Every structure is written in structure tokens, then in C-alpha cells.
Amino acid sequence: MVDGIIAVPTEHDRDALQTAVSRGVPLVLVDRLLDGLASDAVVLDNELAARQAVEHLAAAGHIRIAALVGDQKSWTMRKRRSGFLAAMSHAGLAAHPNEVIAGPLTVAAGRAEVNRLLVAPSRPSAVVCFNYELTVGALIAINEHGIAVPEELSVVGFDSVELAQVTRPRLSMITQPTAQIAAQAAALIYARLSVDPSPRMHTVVTLASEFVSGGSVGPPGE
């Protein structure tokens, strides 16, 4: 009963979207791909996002960097995790398995995971949070422990533009080009709904993230 669908999908949406595609309904996926589902899509270069964070922290002198990589059932979060591990390897740094932390994409999970890092006998000098909710949770835990940022711990957040405006120091973060993502998705669905009915190969548009430097990254503390 619709001419086309633009979806930000989860794994639970796969069957319904596959049914729509099999009926000839044009589909554009946003933010993530679903294995086995062929469609147009607009996604972030998640490997680049991870690399930008690691390179910035490595340039500040950090060797031991933790990462909150979220739910690994998500295509997006799997890409960010693999990008983080590849960037650490490329920088000649070791990623500690217990400091590359998967889990739910929630504020509570981010808080709990960073709490665990902060009470460990030895802890990383920096943490990257690869999702907005994880970033919020991490900052709550850091504030609860009275940790000075960046003197005691450097922090990189994700998609936290508004949050960065109220944190002191201002949060360093990775941002997505939201307006470009929306425009590309609209252009793709419009092309599928055009008067030309001839079949075309599916298009996956990959857009670059941007690293926005703030005051939450500094040299490793003692």
C-alpha cells in the first residue's frame, strides 16, 4: 500500500522488508545493511570513523585505548568494532580483549561498562564510545567517579553534538553527516520511483564521518 520505503532497520525487520522487496516495493536502507537483503542504501564509513578516533588518541600519546563497541548483532556496530581493531593494529597498538566491550546500545550499558573499567586494578588512558547512548552512559560513570577529563582519562564520543555543547571540557567526537544522509536517501528512492522502469544495479552510498576535536583528549595521565 506504499510506493517505496526508506528504513533504518534492525535485524527484526529483515523478513518484513524482504517481503516488501519481493513484491517490487523500492527500498532504501539508512545507517546499516542487512545480510542477504539487496537494496539501495546510505551508510556511514564506519571503519573511517573508528580510524579517526584511534589516530587522534594515538597522536596524543595514548597506547592503551578502550572501546565501547555496542551490540555486535548490528551491522553498523560490527563495522565500528572491526575498524577499531584494524586502526589499533595499524598504529602498532595492542587492543586488550576485555577493553573492547560489546553490549546493549543503552545509557545503562555505557555506564556499567565504564564503571567496570574505572574500578579495575589498572585502566586504559582513553576510551572511545561508538554510539550516542554509550557516550552518555560513559560520561555519567566518569562523573560519578570524579575522574578528571582529560587529565586522568581521555574520552571520544559519537554523535554527541548537543552533549558536547554542555560538557566541560567540550567533548571530542565523531559526527555523522545527517543532512547528507537524508538527502542521499531521498535521491535514491526518488530515482527508484521515477518514470523509467528499467532495472538498475543497487547503489550503496558511503559517506565520511568527521572528527570534531574538543578538550576531552589530552596526553595520558600518570
The model's pTM: 0.91
User: For residue 88, is it within any domain?
Assistant: yes
The overall average pLDDT reported for the chain is 93
How many domains are contained in the chain?
2
196, part of any domain? yes
SS3 state of residue 139: helix
Q: How far, in Å, are 72, 75, 137, 147, 157 from residue 112 at the CA level?
A: 17, 23, 8, 15, 16
Residues 93, 29: one domain? no
Q: Mind listing the pLDDT tens digit for each residue in 89-140?
A: 999 999 999 999 999 999 999 999 999 999 999 999 999 999 999 999 999 9
Q: Where in the sequence is the domain holding 68, given as residue range(s)?
A: 46-175
